[in-house]
């Protein structure tokens, strides 16, 4: 059995593990004041060519979202997001828990467009309502779709024109930037966003997300927020070592791991279509959404479980299969082989 | 000129004013420990035949909503409401500000139905999502519609079956209970809801809302919440005097004022239809929604302003006209007379 | 029996009542957009000679404290206050409820001094601790003491030098400014503070506190906060009418009411000392703290109750007697007469 | 140079590292639903002989404090703690950030006593004040002192008698339970506390704290809080593997690591006294507080840095030296040797 349920089923990529082992008994200052964290931050800033950015390393994605949004907004300010956004559904109310309303819009294929933002601005006009102030997107989105450079630019533009903060949840940014339809670089992302984070957890780290605050107006006192929300890791070097390893040589390992995940997903996708199954939509990242008859999935799940996204008609499911940095190509081959018997 | 913009344009009904004047130089204990507050609470409990209820008097509607919901819920618990609900739009994020997510559904004509609740329950299934725990409705709704007894009963039932708190925002409860299509009494409301409030501000008081907590499990320590949110009025007797006056003789004044508002609204509504204008929907409470050509409304607004609800096609508006306890019948007559010229 | 328990036992000063009655059936826009509120704000700004200030009228003192502090601070920022401060004890955790730590210091006689502030600054040095950002004092203090002009100036100075917001709770500002030892004007207060409020509730209004934000950097979007915390009064004119009445003719009524309260307190104080009782300290405002044997107070309380502040030794109490705008001189005379029998 | 600055300078104890390496490429379910987490929880519950307890593993100490206190308390409820408590000072307002006031008392040597609790109960008597509801202690305390069994029992008793939740921060619980003056077992701690946590970060783990909720009334829905505060680790098995390793064989590794730290601290302490230096107080855990002339410490700090706790008179410092699971005995010997030259 091999699971395609998600991209955080295994531990850590070997080069990172090696560095953790190597440094284990070194003494370093706590709370991210160590040389590894320093190095990781420098590597990231250099990679995005942005000396004025500030980088912070924290453990998890919900954590970085709630800390950032909590730090960036005043209490009356609200977030605009698509209703499938991670913060809208799968964070147990984390954003509201720090006091902010999320104004959700429908979007399209998990993506947000300027007209969605405009519709919120048009209906939030005075102090009886919240004041929209931050635009949240994720790239890749929850549905595995990828923003083009043009789309990011357009979102950035409407944000700048309306004094909105543009924030990108990059839990799967690696997958987005190595997607075959992607046209943006991480430097582009840094140029267009006021803040974004680079996901480590879903791209080969044990854990860890690197928040990049490119807008200097949002940088003040950020460490206080990390501490206050319980996210200042005592042995902060663990984050430093991981991101330093991922971003050495212009992010060589980071992109390599992500590219592998996408490649495996693509292969899985072709395996399904070639065996006569329909996709929900063409996948361009590490998540594949395929329509499977319930009877077939129940059998398949014994060997190669994915996750049931939602029912599709009476007899089928939409099933999500996720490939990751750790997915062995031979398991993908076995899955495809297995599919042939349904053909 | 006479304004039909809202139902809080004037001060206070004369019998209440008389009692405020009469008691003015009496000394009473502060913070609601006075005899008037005591009396008001007793009158309300007696009127709804519920000794086990607890009554709290506070100044405003957003206030009572945020205090109640904040007191009733644990931090991970969420509210279900229709997306036109007052707490969703017009309270500047008050509920999120005390930490709770509102899961909004579309509803129908401003009303929430059991199937809407069920759809939220079906999709909120584990600790990655908020836990739906309180159902919020307003009666009358933001669109002036009124729940029937049967509808309230059905909502109460699904709440009880799913351990949900049923909370009714009664900013315009007087208008609902004296609506010509209403089939519920305040006692019914008390029986079906875990908590509800009786609006004074929009029904003849200077200010004031009477929260009734019928479910004893929700009553503990409630006064702490009133104080903590800055809502414990020093001269609490002002609330006591007003509600005691409204609820003497089984709510005689309360219902009389509400009935007047509804009657005036009905007359306004007929005035419009008889002069050839179309309604958005048949009104059954103190709010009338009528479709008016922009050119006509612009003229009318000089003498009898209502408020622009939203555009209707390219050339018309939906206009809301609100009648209140204070609306003089002669002003309604003048409005109708004025309409004739457009006929 | 006449109560000296507090300064909010009676209703409202007659000139205000007259204006409430006179305007009762006028129609005005809601939520403080009316002409009375406008006028009140102008009168206050003119009285303190500060066009750049912003004035907001809200119902109660805890409310104005929690809204202001919540609006002025970012989540990691903290308040410095003396441990007897109203926000530290008698607001049921209102400030913490909006997320802020209060760093309390001992102070002296209810007053805060620059050295107290310095001691907090010296020990709060990095992001593992909260960041002190707002200095809270009340004038008069909870112990009835009054800040001198010099003391206010010194506090303002240390605040300015350390980028701290200087906030003054003026629930009893009238009493402070008419104290026989006072050397400051309201204009001085406005010059030294970044924000302060002028108490109406304890100085002749039914309710109401006028927040003055003199520092333009703190003014942005403040109305959102008033709404979000449930403090935007629908019939906002009630606040407007009251403060317009209090501040007509350079605050004539406001100061007259306060001066009366102080004068009555002074007479009470002399009554006690002349009959052989010891004061806790010389009172200079409308609160008198006197040491009374328990047996005597128990008798006295039947006719002229004050409130037990705390025990004093085994056999005595410290009793607080409060005089107000409404205290009739003949009741004070009767109290003093009554004291003679213990002599 | 070897640093005695804190007990989280190194990485992870070798047996834990071995298990992390061994399991690295295994696939497990995310978010703590894996077999390792399951095993760790069972081992801990078995060790404290409490089937009814619930165990949750989270990354850090501030995190577990804010989640627990946030989950256990209603918004008006407050914490009682000594003013040197970690939550009072070094958590950047984390507890206030989730809305709760901490009522701090002086305590003695970092410890809280029943009389301290009683004094808070005596002065918090109605809804104008917060309601004290949770007693927070840490063991060892911030000053390295250790509670005796009797002291824990007395605290538990006053808590039970007053419906207070007794919560123990065990960031250094290992050090406390292996102290030479300790008389309590972890089973005792579990019996007396309503909830406590077992610190991993400061006792040989990469990170991780195991919260044990012994009181079933506090267990409901706890996972929602972990998720909502951003603390639900995607690769939860990392916590599971670490605590399973620490608690195999009745906590063999856990206690061994802690015992080593205490033994090293004891040796350091004797090294100081034997060379003529004075202690602030006799240390009984892994923290040593010694009084050193500034000139001497400045020299010593080049080779064996501790941390400056506070000044002592004009010419000396109180210096904290911390020993840990990782402190090599030869470095301690070198330190002692180094001290001889000042003798």
Pairwise CA distance, residues A214 & A202, whole Å: 23
Distance from the B231 Cα atom to the nearest Cα atom in chain D, whole angstroms = 11
To 10 degrees, the CA torsion angle through A222, A225, A227, A230? -140
At D194-206, the pLDDT tens digits run 999 999 999 999 9
- Angle at the Cα of C227 (from C223 to C230), degrees rounded to 5? 145
Q: Tell which residue, D181, D269, D314, has the closest CA to residue D4.
A: D269
Mean pLDDT of chain B: 97
Interface contact D76-C91, CB threshold 8 A: no
Q: Please report the pLDDT score of residue D152 as a whole number.
A: 98
Mutate to test the interface with D, among C92, C128, C307 (most CBs of D within 10 A): C92
Interface mutation target, options B1, B11, B94, B201, chain C, most CBs of C under 10 Å: B11
The Cα B101–Cα B93 span in angstroms is 10
Nearest CA in chain D to C79: D93
The whole-chain average pLDDT of chain D stands at 97
> Looking at the predicted structure, is the pLDDT value of residue B179 above 90?
yes
Q: How many of the other CB atoms lie within 10 Å of CB of A270? A: 12
How does residue D343 score in pLDDT terms, banded at 50, 70 and 90?
confident
pLDDT range class, residue B128, cuts 50, 70, 90: very high
Q: Is D60 on the interface with C (CB under 8 A)?
A: no
The Cα A338–Cα A334 span in angstroms is 6
Say if residue C281's pLDDT is above 90.
no
Distance CA D301, CA C122 (A): 23
pLDDT of residue A103: 97
pLDDT in tens, D121-154: 999 999 999 999 999 999 999 999 999 999 999 9
Q: Identify the CA nearest to C90 among candidates D129, D174, A318.
A: D129
Across the interface, whether the CB atoms of A235 and D94 are under 8 A apart is answered no
Calpha distance D8→D5 (Å, rounded): 9
Annotation: CATH topology of C254-342 = 3.90.1150
Q: Which fold has domain B14-249?
A: 3.40.640
Rounded to whole angstroms, what are the CA distances from D302 to A147, B256, C195, D268, D305?
53, 85, 49, 17, 6
pLDDT attached to residue D341? 87
Whether the bond between D231 and the residue before it is cis, its omega within 30 degrees of 0, is no
Classify residue C150 as exposed, middle or buried by CB count within 10 Å of its CB (0-12, 13-18, 19+): exposed
Assigned token pair, C250: 């350079």
**Is the pLDDT reported for residue A57 higher than 90?**
yes
Residue C342 pLDDT class (50, 70, 90 cuts): confident
The number of C-alpha atoms within 13 Å of A29 and in the hemisphere containing its C-beta is 10
Domain B254-340, what fold?
3.90.1150
pLDDT number for residue C171:
98
Q: How far is B223 from chain A (nearest CA, A)?
A: 23
Residue in A31, A74, A221 nearest the CB of C76: A221
Q: Residue C286: what pLDDT?
A: 98
Helix (H) or strand (E) holding D27: none
CB B189, CB B173: distance < 8 Å: yes
C-alpha distances (whole Å) from D245 to each of A207, C25, C303, D237 are 20, 77, 73, 12
Q: Identify the three-state secondary structure at position B204.
A: coil
Ramachandran sector of residue D278 (left: φ over 0; alpha: ψ -120 to 50; beta: rest)? beta
Residue B281 has pLDDT above 90, yes or no: no
The DSSP output letter for D277 is P
Q: What is the pLDDT of residues B63-77, one digit of tens each?
A: 999 999 999 999 999
Cβ burial, residue D105 (10 Å; 0-12/13-18/19+): middle
Residues making up chain B, counted from first to last: 343
H helix intervals, A5-53: 14-22, 35-47
Q: Min CA distance, A157 vs chain D (Å)? A: 31
- For residue B232, give how far its alpha carbon lies from the nearest alpha carbon of chain C (Å): 8
Do D75 and C90 count as a contact with CB atoms less than 8 A apart? no
Q: pLDDT digit string (tens) for B302-317?
A: 999 999 999 999 999 9
Residue contacts between A and D (CB atoms, under 8 Å): 140
Q: What percent of chain A has pLDDT over 70?
A: 100
Q: DSSP labels for D44-85? A: HHHHTT-TT-EEEEES-HHHHHHHHHHHHS-TTEEEEEETTS
- Which subunits sit against C, judged by 3+ Cβ pairs under 8 A? A, B, D
CB B108 within 8 A of CB B162: no
- C-alpha distances (whole Å) from A18 to each of A12, A204, D107 are 10, 13, 47
Residues of D in contact with B231 (CB under 8 A): none
Work out the percent of chain B whose per-residue pLDDT is above 70.
Answer: 100
Q: What is the pLDDT of residues A79-118, one digit of tens each?
A: 999 999 999 989 999 999 999 999 999 999 999 999 999 9
Q: Is C291 helix (H, G, I), strand (E, B) or coil?
A: strand
User: Could you read off the pLDDT of C179-196 as tens digits, one per residue?
Assistant: 999 999 999 999 999 999
- Among candidate residues B115, B47, B35, B40, the one with its CA nearest the CA of residue B82: B115
pLDDT at A281: 86
Is the predicted ipTM greater than 0.90, yes or no?
Answer: yes
Any A CB within 8 A of D69 CB:
no
Q: Do C96 and D91 make contact, defined as CB atoms within 8 angstroms?
A: no
Where residue C276 falls among pLDDT bands split at 50, 70, 90?
A: very high
Is D127–B223 a contact, with Cβ atoms under 8 angstroms apart?
yes
Distance CA(A237)–CA(A34), nearest Å, equals 6
Type and span of the H or E element at C61: helix C61-72
How many Å apart are CA B202 and CA B262, to the nearest integer? 12
Share of chain C above pLDDT 70, in %: 100
Using the beta-carbon criterion (under 8 Å), do D228 and B74 form an inter-chain contact? no
Q: Which CATH number fits domain D256-340: 1.10.10.10, 3.90.960.10, 3.40.50.1820, 3.90.1150.10?
A: 3.90.1150.10
pLDDT band at residue A341 under the 50/70/90 scheme: confident
Q: Is D51 exposed, middle or buried (0-12, 13-18, 19+ CB in 10 A)?
A: exposed
Q: Are strands B209-213 and B77-82 parallel, antiparallel or unpaired?
A: unpaired
pLDDT tier, D316 (very low <50, low <70, confident <90, very high otherwise) = very high
- Asked if C27's CB is within 8 angstroms of B9's CB, the reply is yes
Where exactly are the structural domains of chain A? 14-250, 254-340
Q: Which of B63, B130, B137 is nearest to B105 (CA)?
A: B137
Query: Residue B343: what pLDDT?
Result: 78
Of C94, C61, C108, C101, the C-alpha closest to C80 is C101
Cross-chain CB nearest to B92 (options A92, A97, A128): A128
Indicate if the pLDDT at residue C263 is higher than 90.
yes
Query: What pLDDT is recorded for position D71?
Result: 98
Q: Has domain C14-250 been given CATH number 3.40.1080.10?
A: no
Does the fold of domain D256-340 match that of domain D14-253?
A: no
Phi/psi of residue D307, nearest 5 degrees = -130, 145
Count Cβ atoms below 10 Å from residue A310 Cβ, excluding itself: 11
Give C-chain residues touching D78 at CB under 8 angstroms: 93
pLDDT above 90 for D283: no
Angstroms from A92 CA to nearest CA on chain B: 4
Chain D touched by A231 (CB under 8 Å)? yes
For residues D164-192, average pLDDT: 98
Nearest to C60 among B91, B202, B233 (CB): B233
Tell whether the model's pLDDT for residue B283 goes beyond 90.
no
> What is the overall mean pLDDT for chain A?
97
What number is the average pLDDT over the span D216-233?
98
At residue C30, φ and ψ (nearest 5 deg) are: -85, 180
* Average pLDDT of span C310-335: 96
Give the C-alpha separation, A11 to B11, whole Å: 68
In the predicted model, what is the mean pLDDT of residues C50-56?
A: 97
Class of domain D14-253: alpha beta
Rounded CA separation D40/D9 (Å): 25
> What's the pLDDT score for residue D342?
86
Is D333 a residue whose pLDDT tops 90? yes
**C contacts of B30 (beta carbons < 8 Å):** 6, 8-9
The tens digit of pLDDT for each residue in B207-224 reads: 999 999 999 999 999 999
Is residue B314 within 8 A of residue B293, CB to CB? The reply is no
What does chain C come to in residues?
Answer: 343
pLDDT band at A46 (very low <50, low <70, confident <90, very high): very high
CA D174 to CA D159: how far, in whole Å? 24
Q: How confident is the model at residue C341, as a pLDDT?
A: 87
Which residues of chain B are within 8 Å of residue D225 when distances are taken between CB atoms?
75-76
Q: Is the pLDDT of residue C249 over 90?
A: yes
């Amino acid at each position: 059995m091999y699971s395609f349920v998600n991209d955080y089923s295994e531990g850590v990529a070997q080069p990172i593990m090696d560095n953790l082992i190597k440094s284990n008994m070194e003494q370093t200052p706590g709370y991210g004041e160590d040389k590894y964290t320093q190095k990781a931050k420098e590597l990231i800033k250099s990679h995005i060519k942005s000396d004025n950015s500030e980088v912070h390393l924290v453990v998890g994605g919900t954590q970085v979202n709630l800390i950032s949004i909590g730090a960036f907004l005043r209490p009356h300010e609200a977030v605009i997001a698509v209703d499938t956004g991670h913060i809208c559904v799968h964070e147990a109310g984390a954003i509201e828990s720090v006091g902010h309303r999320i104004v959700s819009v429908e979007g399209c294929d998990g993506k947000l467009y300027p007209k969605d933002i405009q519709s919120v601005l048009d209906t939030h006009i005075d102090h009886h309502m919240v004041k929209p102030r931050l635009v949240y997107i994720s790239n890749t989105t929850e549905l595995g779709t990828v923003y083009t450079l043009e789309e990011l630019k357009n979102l950035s533009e409407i944000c700048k024109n309306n004094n909105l903060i543009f924030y990108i949840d990059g839990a799967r940014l690696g997958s987005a930037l190595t997607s075959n339809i992607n046209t943006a670089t991480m430097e582009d992302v840094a140029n267009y966003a006021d803040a974004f984070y680079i996901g480590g957890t879903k791209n080969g780290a044990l854990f860890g997300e690197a928040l990049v605050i490119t807008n200097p107006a949002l940088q003040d006192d950020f460490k206080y927020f990390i501490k206050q929300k319980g996210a200042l890791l005592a042995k902060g070097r663990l984050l430093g070592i991981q991101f330093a390893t991922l971003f050495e040589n212009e992010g060589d390992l980071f992109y390599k791991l992500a590219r592998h995940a996408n490649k495996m997903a693509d292969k899985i996708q072709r395996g399904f279509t070639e065996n006569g199954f329909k996709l929900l939509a063409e996948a361009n990242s590490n998540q594949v959404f395929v329509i499977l008859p319930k009877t077939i999935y129940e059998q398949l799940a014994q060997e190669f479980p994915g996750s049931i996204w939602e029912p599709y008609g009476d007899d089928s499911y939409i099933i999500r299969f996720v490939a990751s940095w750790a997915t062995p190509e031979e398991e993908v081959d076995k899955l495809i082989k297995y599919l042939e018997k349904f053909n």
